[in-house]
Amino acid sequence: MPDDIRILLAEDSPTIRRYLSSIIEETVGMRVVGEARTGDEAVKMVADLQPDVVSMDIKMPQMDGLEATRRIMASHPTPVVVVSGLLEVDVHLSLQALEAGALAVVGKPPDRKNPAYANKVRELIITLRAMAGVKVISRRAYPRPTDETQESGKAFVPVPNDVIRPEILAIGASTGGPSALNRIFKSLPSDFPIPIVLVQHMPHDFIAGLAHWLEDTTPLHFEIARSGLSLKSGTVTIASGTAHLAVLRRGNGLVARLLPDDGTRRYVPSVDVLFESIAKICAAASIGIVLTGMGDDGANGLLTMRQAGAHTFVQDEASSTVFGMPRAAIEKQAAQYIESLGDLASKITKLV
């Protein structure tokens, strides 16, 4: 059908290729238009077939999925979804593929007899369908923002040190987030003077890999959140994929608190939950940032932070992989500043 989502499968295993193809072909509104056995074939087939989205394996002969993703994003930008077997080495490579321009990572569905089969297939199909509609930008360079991308009258003026100084930085991100976070954290010093808390939408199985990857590639230290964990300067505490992350005050410091999902939030973990807790606990002594991502998670929470006196930022459209979350925050007038990805680290550093 002409309106079907056209998918290119890049997978070296014939068995897994047939398996994934059967899952996709059984889904109404989706069809496989090509099957690549190597990364080199995937790059060529993207140019020839112009699919709506690529399902990309990582381990492939001749050219792996990492290099294939990088070349696709440089020559024929196309939404790429990394479909990984969740081996530890694959997690690290998958995150490198996100840095190269892939939009999302999902696990390969298990055997049809596995109890997790239905949920994993649903996750794969939803991700492929959602990413197929994303307009991606070339990864050859990050474009500089124009004057039109800046909110009128919101030039950045650092707050003097004798006014309220921030005691925590909170960040929310989704699609395109890992590479954006990597770029920001690389530009922050190892002795960054306040704690950082982070919600990144991605499968729970990849959160530990994300923490390890960022630990290896940036000066900061990373921990997975657990209830009662003290939030420390120079450390990024990342929400797990199974509970909401909130912040509490204990004595003179701040600690993490994990909250079970009650079914009222669209996302677990929720950026809104994190931001709302910080607005309540830290008020004006905080910084909130909404980065690239689909949907609107974080918009209401960032508005709550701004109303409490916090400094609030969103990533600009020119440097965002997907402008959904930043746009939602801007539309709610939650953003005090709209900044390019390349400028965010310096602006944050000036504030703290």
Give the active site residues: 174, 201, 297
Per-residue CA distances from 283 to 18, 41, 43, 85, 339 (Å): 54, 53, 49, 42, 22
Tell me the C-alpha distance between 242 and 238, whole Å. Answer: 12
Buried b (16+ CB within 10 A) or exposed e, 132-161: bebebbebeebeebeeebbeeeeebeeeee
What token pair was written down for 129? 């369908």
Query: Angle, nearest 10°, between helix axes 207-217 and 88-100?
Result: 60
Task: Give the count of beta carbons closer than 10 Å to the beta carbon of residue 262.
Answer: 7
Per-residue CA distances from 132 to 4, 104, 166, 248 (Å): 11, 11, 39, 39
Pick from 313, 307, 267: which is nearest to 283 by CA? 307
Q: How crowded is the C-beta side of 190, counted as CA atoms within 13 Å?
A: 6
145 sits in the region (left: phi over 0; alpha: psi -120 to 50; else beta) called beta
Q: What residues contact 267, with CB distance under 8 A and at least 6 apart?
A: 201, 295, 297
Tell me the C-alpha distance between 321 and 32, whole Å. Answer: 25
